[in-house]
Amino acid sequence: MSSFLNAGIIALTLGYTLSQFYRAFLAVLSQTLQTELGATPGDLALSSGMWFLTFALMQLPVGWALDRIGPRRTAAVVLAVGGAGGAAIFALAQAPWHLHVAMGLIGIGCAPALMAAYYIFAHDYPPARFGALTGAMVGLGSAGNILGAAPLVSLIHAIGWRESLWLMAAVTLAVAAALALTVRDPVHHGGAPRGRLSALFALPTLRLMLPLILVSYASSAALRGLWASPYLRDVFGADDVTVGRATLVMGIAMVVGNLGAGAFVAAVGGVRRAVLIGHVLSVAALSVLWLAPDWGLAPAIVLLGAVGLTGTNYTLLMAHARRFLSPALVGRGMTLLNMASIGGVGMMQFASRPLSAAAEARYAPPEAYAMLFLFFLVPLVIGFAIFLLAPAEPADA
């Protein structure tokens, strides 16, 4: 793994850390933004959804840019313009719609970070190491989830939320500069890959994987980044410190899960088996949250931690799908799958907004959040059932 930790990969890991931070930090700002800007949970659902939507829509252009321009310039320029620019707009926000614009720009800025690393791994490292490398990358980068929890609460209490966002804008610019200076584009043997997007949809195995990829990450991302805070406040009366600690538990679980992905795959005897076990855990945790949303504060935090742990299902699914992609399809193939995964989060977050409003108008908080958990559970079960029909191994394995 020593060759993994070169300066360029470290810079890309920092970029992905920012991506994880920005997709999750709204959870601890919800009360502050409601007080100062009048932003309701529904407004924040839209803002968070904008991050995931623009991130997803950027994936195919990012795939094209990785193949034609290379990961160094793609990641550096987009992070500087979108990420730092969006953070600055967030710091200046005076109304909820300013948050929508800011989060949309930040989503654009974060779009290339992980895919640039995946692209380098796919071209410069043996396929057998792809799962371990991506797991390490996602695990280390998931520190952003931790930084966007209790540490961010402490920073906001110390200097204020606007000042914290200005600081993040400066950090984002610094990371973009590091990307430009340290990342090295892979050498393509025989020229840049020329795989067509249509060739991806011609793969029946990927068509059977896509429904699960579309919904797998939605529950952990949406609950960590958006719904954990209002759930704990509304059902259990949790304060900012408790919410920060609970989301910290989710963030740590995400880090542990992704860092341990390679060892987990080896322990269970294969990446597909790891995917199956991970999704069984995800279904089980969401089922308990649905059936017993007011069981108790401690059990709720444990279950949210379990949902956070299953965030590693994203890494496992991507590693499994990579085995079915030829070298010519790696760049656009991985970005297409990432678009489906992140786009699924965005769509689910957008859809959760009216569902939550309708449930709150009709039910008491525990029952309203039970409906929300069921909303994330049902598509996951359907996608998992379809995934079981896909071949376990590539035809040439």
Instruction: Tokens for 160, please give them.
Output: 């204020």
* Prediction pTM value: 0.79
Fold of 2-181+197-387: Growth Hormone; Chain: A; (1.20.1250)
N-terminal to C-terminal alpha carbon distance within the chain? 25
Give the pLDDT confidence score for residue 2 in this predicted structure: 44
Three-class DSSP category at 293: coil
282: Cβ–Cβ under 8 A, 6 or more apart, which residues? Answer: 216, 219, 220, 307, 310, 313, 380
Q: Distance between CA 184 and CA 349 in Å, rounded?
A: 36
8 Å CB contact between 133 and 257: no
Within 13 Å, how many C-alpha atoms sit on residue 199's CB side?
A: 14
Instruction: Tokens for 104, please give them.
Output: 């949309």
Within 13 Å, how many C-alpha atoms sit on residue 159's CB side?
A: 11
Give the pLDDT confidence score for residue 83 in this predicted structure: 96
Instruction: Tokens for 143, please give them.
Output: 């520190």
Q: Distance between CA 215 and CA 211 in Å, rounded?
A: 7
> Which class for 2: exposed (0-12), middle (13-18), buried (19 or more C-beta within 10 A)?
exposed
Helices vs strands, H then E, count in the chain: 23, 0
Three-class DSSP category at 125: coil
Q: What is the DSSP string of 177-213?
A: HHHHHH--PPPPTTSS----HHHHHT-HHHHHHHHHH
List the domain boundaries for the chain.
Answer: 2-181+197-387
Report the run of H or E that residue 153 belongs to, with start and end. Answer: helix 150-159
191: Cβ–Cβ under 8 A, 6 or more apart, which residues? Answer: none
Q: pLDDT of the chain along its 397 residues, tens only?
A: 445 568 899 999 999 999 989 988 887 888 889 899 999 878 888 898 899 889 988 988 988 888 888 999 999 999 999 999 999 999 999 999 999 999 999 999 999 988 899 888 878 877 667 777 877 888 888 888 788 877 888 899 999 999 999 999 999 999 999 999 999 988 764 445 555 667 777 778 888 999 999 999 998 988 887 899 899 999 999 988 888 889 889 888 988 888 888 889 889 988 899 999 999 999 999 999 999 999 999 999 999 999 999 988 988 998 888 888 877 777 778 888 888 888 888 888 888 888 988 999 999 999 999 999 999 999 999 999 999 999 888 876 5
Q: Distance between CA 304 and CA 292 in Å, rounded?
A: 13
Q: Distance between CA 343 and CA 337 in Å, rounded?
A: 10
Q: What is the 3-state secondary structure (H, E, C) of 54-72?
A: HHHHCHHHHHHHHHHCCHH
Residue burial 60-84, b: 16+ Cβ < 10 Å; e: rest: ebbbebbbeebbbbbbbbbbbebbb
User: What are the distances in angstroms from CA 363 to CA 135, 227, 232, 277, 360?
Assistant: 40, 17, 16, 34, 5
User: What are the distances in angstroms from CA 203 to CA 37, 100, 124, 338, 368?
Assistant: 48, 36, 24, 17, 40
